[in-house]
Structures are given as structure tokens and as C-alpha cells.
């Protein structure tokens, strides 16, 4: 292939993406993350944040940060990787508290969830190993699997028969298997069958990695996520991943499990070894966020009421909902152009709801990804339903 300028390589591709209604644009926010936000200069009610418990602007977290900074015991930048001088006491305490909360031996902080999901497969899997991943796994899980030395195969979404068939074949071939799945699937809102996944992993001596980014906080007793929801405990061959930028309202991620798992990641996970530690003050904020999250039963009850109220109203409108009990409540529209029309029409009515299009979701399943926060009110949900009905009528006429 002849050498090209950047313009020669990408100008036509960018144009094609625009014409296919797949172009991505960043909305500009003004002010803290809240249900009522100024986005792109327009005052809106925000129904597409992952701030499920409303902790992103929590006053107790703010106060903990202010107090820590005033004490002089922490700064902002960590200055180095965890293995050099970046591992602060606040990081260490947070890792211990996360492990205690989850009931496992250890946890390990990462700067982002994407990095955590890159790190685990790369560090644990070897040549001739096999990774079996749910078809709808988050992109970071797939990228982590692809960048490992193992072979990647994907099984149909939540299809335990297909998964067991591949596990049986791997057992015959004496291959080490890592099963990978989301806990709550980020674009569909449904949950993986954790009980059946763990049963299969134990039966076929596989390792099980669950990214419960959207489960921790809103799901389970004390916000313990999908394992707790299915009344399961974490065994020595289970790897849990969680992000801190969703229900925790802060930033970063963690991997949790056995002592052997965590020591192996510290020694062999390149995304951990070669990255500057997250800010010290973020660990302070997250420790308080964990305390708030564990004691947020009232917010979880209210969140569930919002979800049930919305689903009842959306079903009466004949909207195409997906089977979800989580704060993620997608409405399937179909083609990308129509999904954008719905999203833009809702914006005109003062509601910010993102249109999710391929390649994030499969072709023909573009959708409105509606998410709820415990800070939303029933009245705001009713207002959203009225807006959806108005847009539905308007677009049908057109």
C-alpha cells in the first residue's frame, strides 16, 4: 500500500461514518454530574449517566476530600507507579476496605476499568489457553482477551448450553479456560447467570472473570453486586472487576480475588506495572464513597421504584424494552438514523438520552440507553414518559 497522509487515510472514513449516522460527538457539560445538568448550553434532565446512587456530587465525599487536603497528609498527583513511590497509604487502605466489603482476600487498584480488563487476561493466560467470552462482553474485555496469548472464542449471549459444549471440548483437550462475562451488561441492562457460570467453571476447572462495573452499588445487599444477588461467594478461581466511576461516583477501578491472583497481577500485569498510580485524593474520595454506598439501602429502594415505574409506563406506550431489572433501561429503536431522531427530539424537550449505535451494539439494534439515578424523582420519570409519548407520536406522523 502506498504511503498516505492522515487526511488521505481517514477523511473518507469519517465522511462515511457521518453518512451512516454513526458519527460520535462529545456533549460538553457545565457543572457537577447531576440529574439536572447543563449540557451543550442547554438545561436538561440527564437520563444517561452511570451515577446510579447519586454519589458523584455527594457532600460527604466532598468534605472528606477537603479535610484530607487541609490535613496535609495527601496531595493530588501520585508522582509515580504503585511499584515505585506512587502507592500511598490511602490507596492501601482502600484496597483493604474493598476486599473486606467483598469478602475476598485482596483487591488491587487500577486507574481505569479498561486498564483492569486489559491487565487480567494478559497476565494470567498463556499460549494454548482458551478464553470463552460472552458475545455481548464490554469492548475492554474483548480487547484484553485479544491482546493475551490465549485463543478467544465467544459464546452466544447468556447461552449456558453453548458455553458448556465448549468447556467440555476444552477439557478433552486439557486446555486451561478463562470464562469472561459482564455481571450487568452495559448496553442491555440484563444480568449474567452468575450461579450457572460459577457452577460450570467449577465443574470444568475453569477460571471465572466477571466485570461487575454496573452491578456494584445498585445490585445486591449493601450494593455487593451480582454475586450477592445470586447468593454466591467468591472462590479462589474467581476474578472480580469493578469500576469506581459509576455507582461509586469517583474514578478508577479494582480487581478483587485471592492473594495469588493479586500478587500475580502485581508481578506480571503490564497495565498495572507501567502506569502512574491514580491521585491520592481519589482514594480518599473513594473510601468515603464506599462507606456511602454500603449504607445506601434507601437509595437502592428508591432506584428500584423508579425502574419499576418507568417500565410500567413504557410498556403501556408499547416501547420495545429489554429484560432488565438494573438501572440500565434501553429502548430498542432499530436503525441508527431513527435512534438519533429520537435522541434529538428528546433533547429539544429538555431530556438528555443518548442514542447508542453500532458498533457499540449489533446492527439493527440501535437504541436509547436510558439510565436512572437515585437522585431522580418519580415526577421526572413521569415527565420523561410524557416526552417519549410525544416523540413517538411526532415521529409516527413523519
Check the annotation: does 21 bind a ligand: no
398 membership: H or E segment, kind and range: none
| Residue 389: Cβ-neighbour burial (10 angstroms; 0-12, 13-18, 19+) | middle
Q: Known binder of ligand: residue 54?
A: no
H or E, element range at 188: none
Instruction: In whole angstroms, give the CA distance from residue 241 to residue 229.
Output: 16
Phi/psi for 128 (5° steps) reads 80, -5
Tell whether 371 is in a known binding site. no
Q: How far from chain centre, in Å, is Cα 306?
A: 20
Distances from the Cα of 365 to the Cα of 73, 185, 360, angstroms: 50, 15, 10
Other Cβ atoms less than 10 A from the Cβ of 214: the count is: 29
- Report the alpha-carbon distance of residue 111 to residue 89 in Å, rounded: 16
C-alpha cell at 73: 497528609
Closest to 257 (Cα-Cα) out of 99, 94, 83, 95: 99
Is residue 357 part of an annotated ligand binding site?
no
Reduce the secondary structure of 313-365 to three states and give it as a string: HHHHCCCCECCCCCCEEEEEEECHHHHHHHHHHHHHCCEECEEECCCCCCCCC
Strand-strand pairing, 151-155 and 106-110? unpaired
> What is the Cα–Cα distance from 325 to 396, expressed in whole angstroms?
29
34 φ, ψ (degrees, to nearest 5)? -150, 165
Distance CA 68, CA 233 (A): 34
Q: Confirm or deny that 138 is annotated as ligand binding.
A: yes
**Nearest CA-CA partner of 261 in 102, 128, 147, 132:** 102
Of the candidates 355, 353, 354, 339, the one whose C-alpha atom is nearest the C-alpha of residue 395 is: 339
| CA-closest candidate to residue 281, choices 51, 78, 59, 54 | 78
Binding residues for pyridoxal 5'-phosphate, as ranges, are: 113-114, 186, 214, 243
**Residue positions in the annotated binding site?**
24, 113-114, 138, 186, 214, 243, 360
The annotated binding site for substrate is made up of 24, 138, 360
Amino acid at each position: 500500500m502506498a504511503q498516505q497522509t492522515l487526511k488521505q487515510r481517514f477523511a473518507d472514513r469519517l465522511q462515511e461514518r457521518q453518512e451512516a449516522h454513526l458519527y460520535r460527538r462529545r456533549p460538553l457539560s457545565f457543572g457537577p454530574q447531576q440529574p439536572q445538568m447543563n449540557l451543550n448550553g442547554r438545561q436538561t434532565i440527564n437520563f444517561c449517566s452511570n451515577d446510579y446512587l447519586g454519589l458523584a456530587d455527594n457532600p460527604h465525599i466532598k468534605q472528606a476530600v477537603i479535610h484530607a487536603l487541609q490535613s496535609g497528609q495527601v496531595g493530588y498527583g501520585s508522582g509515580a507507579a504503585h511499584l515505585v513511590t506512587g502507592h500511598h497509604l490511602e490507596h492501601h487502605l482502600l484496597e483493604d476496605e474493598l476486599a473486606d466489603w467483598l469478602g475476598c482476600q485482596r483487591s488491587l487498584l487500577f486507574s481505569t476499568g479498561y486498564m483492569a480488563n486489559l491487565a487480567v487476561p494478559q497476565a494470567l493466560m498463556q499460549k494454548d489457553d482458551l478464553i470463552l467470552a460472552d458475545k455481548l462482553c464490554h469492548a475492554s474485555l474483548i480487547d484484553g482477551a485479544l491482546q493475551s496469548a490465549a485463543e478467544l472464542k465467544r459464546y452466544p449471549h447468556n447461552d449456558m448450553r453453548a458455553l458448556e459444549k465448549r468447556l467440555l471440548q476444552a477439557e478433552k483437550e486439557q486446555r486451561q479456560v478463562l470464562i469472561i462475562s459482564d455481571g450487568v451488561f452495559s448496553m442491555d441492562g440484563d444480568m449474567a447467570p452468575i450461579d450457572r457460570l460459577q457452577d460450570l467453571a467449577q465443574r470444568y476447572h475453569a477460571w471465572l472473570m466477571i466485570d461487575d462495573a454496573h452491578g456494584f452499588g445498585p445490585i445486591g445487599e449493601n450494593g455487593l453486586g451480582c454475586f450477592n444477588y445470586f447468593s454466591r461467594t467468591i472462590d479462589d478461581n474467581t476474578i472480580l472487576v469493578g469500576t469506581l466511576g459509576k455507582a461509586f461516583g469517583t474514578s478508577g477501578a479494582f480487581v478483587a480475588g485471592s492473594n495469588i491472583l493479586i500478587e500475580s497481577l502485581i508481578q506480571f500485569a503490564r497495565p498495572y506495572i507501567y502506569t502512574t498510580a491514580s491521585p491520592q485524593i481519589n482514594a480518599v474520595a473513594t473510601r468515603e464513597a464506599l462507606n456511602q454506598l454500603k449504607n445506601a439501602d434507601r437509595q437502592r429502594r428508591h432506584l428500584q421504584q423508579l425502574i419499576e415505574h418507568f417500565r410500567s409506563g413504557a410498556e403501556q406506550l408499547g416501547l420495545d424494552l429489554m429484560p432488565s431489572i438494573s438501572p440500565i433501561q434501553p429502548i430498542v429503536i432499530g436503525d441508527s438514523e431513527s435512534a438519533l431522531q429520537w435522541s434529538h427530539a428528546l433533547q429539544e424537550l429538555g431530556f438528555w438520552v443518548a442514542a447508542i449505535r453500532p458498533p457499540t451494539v449489533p446492527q439493527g439494534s440501535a437504541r436509547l440507553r436510558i439510565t436512572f439515578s437515585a437522585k431522580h424523582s418519580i415526577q421526572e420519570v413521569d415527565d420523561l414518559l410524557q416526552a417519549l409519548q410525544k416523540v413517538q407520536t411526532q415521529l409516527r406522523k413523519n
